[in-house]
């Protein structure tokens, strides 16, 4: 009998990824995530971090984390339903709910855990989930974990959503409930979901709305309060507002905000929340401090948008296509995956750290260099980055 190799597929499939230039080669950040940092031993300008407001290095945020270790220790010791529910976790949720102008908030271990844990509990067999065709992978995985029927509407198209909802009303037997899910800001293109139109369609058809605002918090709305604030929607128009502390807040963790009923339901039903250890005290305290900074120092959000408009205008003036970008996510469209990787490597040689986004994260002919702006970038930084993009674009025959 032949000896089987049960793990041989691992190497074969990885080598195929390498051959097709679809593998990830991980670089190492030596030190903090700053606009000027060291990656793989090289001093570079950081243009691909989600740390929009440079909050991870704010003195108040760092001090809060250090103080919490002194008072509460390094870890919580348990999951929250048993013995890991610290006063810092409770205070964080109270502060977040106030910031979001919601009845209540619930903090998950990550944003992915929030989507994977809550979505399948909100819709089950006999229900329907309606999803934007370009939703984030964590939403897709959350939907796959549900036994509900699924439908997709065209990207950011409220009129197509209307057609999908009208067709759903013809289903027999009638669906018990319908859940509409969308990203707030789409992470690959930097465009904004038409949440006002989505909420209107949901109202007309008796559906719930779930928005993943991971890239909208700290960016959109009054003082960075997110997409619901941006569109000035009432809290009852968007039933579930999900977000993350790992981007503009500069720390880590996911969360949902909405009604008290939502939070009570979520904490009793989400296994990713129930069965995962709670955040270390330093993380919870740092998140509270980040909310404090957002409330008291509006200049960070203002500077982020000033930098975004300056960089996007400069890139476009060269002849680059930035796609549908409306936010500090500014993709520089390249086209072919190999060309995007060469472009990124050459930028790195010039001291600019900006990663290529290639298939299967985007369509085969839609590879791009995804840049993400930061409030702490200076005009000198931006001019240096623009000069590098222009130089590489000419070298590779793209300009």
CA distance 128 to 140: 14
For residue 80 the two structure tokens come to 């929250």
pLDDT tens for 350-392 read 999 999 998 888 888 899 999 999 999 999 999 999 999 999 9
Can you give the pLDDT at residue 128? 98
CA distance 118 to 172: 26
How far is Cα of residue 104 from the mean position of the Cα atoms in its chain?
21
Identify the sign of the CA torsion 123, 124, 127, 132: positive
Can you give the pLDDT at residue 363? 83
Low-confidence residues of the chain: pLDDT under 50? none
Can you give the pLDDT at residue 225? 96
CA distance 373 to 313: 13
For residue 13, which phi and psi values (nearest 5 degrees)? Answer: -70, -35
How far is the CA of 240 from the CAs of 139, 265, 372, in angstroms? 13, 12, 26
CA distance 181 to 131: 5
Can you give the pLDDT at residue 2? 61
Domains of the chain: 21-50+298-395 (3.90.1150.10), 59-296 (3.40.640.10)
Q: Which helix (H) or strand (E) holds 8?
A: helix 8-19
CA distance 335 to 339: 7
Catalytic residue ranges? 187, 215, 247
Can you give the pLDDT at residue 362? 85
pTM attached to this predicted model: 0.94
Can you give the pLDDT at residue 5? 85
CA distance 354 to 235: 37
Angle between helices 379-395 and 337-349 (to 10 degrees): 130
């Amino acid at each position: 009998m032949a000896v089987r190799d049960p793990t041989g597929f691992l190497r074969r499939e990885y080598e195929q990824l390498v051959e097709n230039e679809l593998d990830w080669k991980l670089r190492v950040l030596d030190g903090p995530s700053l606009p000027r940092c060291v990656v793989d031993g090289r001093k570079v300008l950081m243009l691909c971090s989600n740390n929009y407001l440079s909050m991870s290095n704010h003195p108040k945020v760092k001090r809060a984390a250090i103080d919490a270790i002194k008072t509460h220790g390094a870890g919580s010791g348990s999951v929250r339903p048993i013995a890991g529910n610290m006063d810092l976790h409770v205070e964080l949720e109270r502060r977040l709910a106030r910031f979001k102008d919601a009845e209540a908030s619930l903090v998950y271990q990550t944003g992915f855990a929030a989507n994977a844990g809550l979505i399948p509990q909100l819709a089950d067999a006999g229900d329907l989930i309606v999803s934007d065709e370009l939703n984030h992978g964590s939403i897709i995985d959350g939907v796959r974990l549900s036994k509900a029927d699924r439908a997709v509407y065209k990207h950011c198209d409220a009129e197509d959503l209307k057609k999908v909802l009208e067709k759903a009303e013809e289903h027999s037997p009638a669906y018990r409930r319908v859940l509409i899910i969308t990203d707030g800001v789409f992470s690959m293109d930097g465009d904004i979901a038409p949440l006002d139109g989505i909420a209107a369609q949901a109202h007309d058809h008796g559906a719930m709305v779930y928005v993943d605002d991971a890239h909208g918090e700290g960016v959109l709305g009054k003082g960075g309060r997110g997409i619901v604030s941006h569109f000035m929607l009432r809290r009852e128009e968007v039933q579930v507002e999900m977000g993350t502390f790992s981007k503009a807040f500069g720390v880590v963790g996911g969360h949902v905000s909405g009604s008290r009923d939502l939070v009570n339901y979520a904490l009793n039903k989400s296994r990713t929340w129930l069965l995962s250890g709670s955040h270390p005290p330093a993380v919870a305290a740092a998140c509270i401090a980040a909310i404090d900074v957002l409330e008291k120092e509006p200049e960070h959000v203002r500077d982020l948008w000033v930098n975004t408009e300056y960089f996007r205008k400069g890139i476009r003036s060269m002849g680059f296509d930035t796609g549908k970008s409306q936010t500090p996510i500014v993709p520089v469209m390249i086209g072919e995956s190999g060309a995007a990787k060469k472009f990124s490597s050459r930028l790195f040689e010039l001291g600019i750290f900006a990663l290529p986004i290639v298939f299967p994260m985007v369509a085969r002919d839609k590879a791009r260099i995804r840049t993400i702006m930061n409030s702490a970038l200076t005009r000198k930084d931006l001019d240096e980055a623009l000069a590098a993009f222009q130089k590489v674009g000419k070298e590779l025959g793209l300009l």
